[in-house]
Amino acid sequence: MYRFAIDNQEELQEGIIRVLREQYAFIGHHTTIPNDIDTSVHEIRKAIKRIRAILRLVRWDIGEELYQSENMRFRDLGRQLSQLRDYHVIITYLAENFEAEELRIPENSFINLINYLNAKKEVELKRCVDNQTLETIKEQMEISTKDLSEFPFDFLGPHTIRQGTANAYSQCLNKISETQLKLDDHPLHELRKRVKYLLNQMILIQEVWPDFFKTYAVSLKEASDLLGDDHNIAEAISLVNSLPSDIISEEDKNNLTDSFRKERDHIHRELWPLLGKLFTEDAKAFVKRITSYWLISRE
C-alpha cells in the first residue's frame, strides 16, 4: 500500500502523485493512537524525509516559491518530533553499549543517567500529547492530500529526473568536500541529510534498472546509516557534557566521551572509503547515466 517506487508503466506525474498520496496516508496511519510511540515517530520522520526528497526532485517544475513553502512545512513537522526521537536513540545507544561492556562507567552511574534521560523523554512525550502534535500532523496530511490536485505536475519528464538528481548528487559532492576541509559535527550532519535525499531519490526510481539502483541504494544506505550513527554519537556527547554533576560525574563524563570518540573514529574509517566509491563520478557524468537509464526504461 505504501510502496515508495515509481513503476515503469506509470507516467512520472502519475507515479509522483501516487507515491506522495501514499506517503501522506502512511504518516496519517502512524499518527492514529500508536501502540509503539517510538516506532511511529521514527516511521513518520522517515516518511517526511522521503516526501522532502520528492520535493527536491520536482523543485524546478513546481517553482521555487511552492518548493520552499512545502519543504519548510514538512521540515517543521519533522522537528516537532525530533527531540522525542533523539532521546529514544541516545537511550537505546547507551543501553546497547553498556550491555556490550563498551562504556567505562559504573553500573549505578549508568542507571542514574538512564533514569534521568527517561524522565526527560517522558516530559517531551507529555509535551507532544498536550500540544496534540500527532493530531496536528494528521490534519496536515489531510490538507496535503487535498492540495495535491493543485500541484503543477503537468509537464514532469526526463528533465525532472535530470535536474533533481543532479542537484542531489552535486550537493553530496559539495558536502563531502566541506566535511573533508573541516571534520566537524555540522558539516557531517549536513552531509548525512544530503546522502539521505539522494538515497530516497534512487529508491524512488529504482524500477528503471533494479540491478543497478538496488545495489547503489544498498551502499548509499550503508553510508547513510554510518553518518546517522555518527550523528547520534555526536548528539550523545553534547548531551552528556551538558548534564549537571549530580547526574553524572566529570570522571564518568570523560570516560563516556572517550568511548564515544573512539567509536566515531571507527565509523569514519569505514565511511570515507565507502563515500569515495559512491561518488567517483562528477555530477555531469552521474546524471547523464541516470537520465539515460530513465529514457531507455520508457521506450
Alpha carbons 207 and 5: distance in angstroms, whole number: 7
pLDDT of residue 32: 86
Angle at 164 between CA 55 and CA 209, to 5 degrees: 110
**What is this structure's pTM?**
0.94
Alpha carbons 236 and 233: distance in angstroms, whole number: 5
* C-alpha closest to that of 213 among 227, 199, 223, 224: 199
Alpha carbons 93 and 218: distance in angstroms, whole number: 23
HSE-CB at 213 with a 13 A cutoff on CA atoms is 21
Residue 299: pLDDT band with limits 50, 70, 90: confident
pLDDT of residue 124: 96
Measured in degrees and rounded to the nearest 5, phi and psi for residue 5 equal: -165, 145
Residue 203: pLDDT band with limits 50, 70, 90: very high
Q: What is the mean pLDDT of residues 194-213?
A: 94
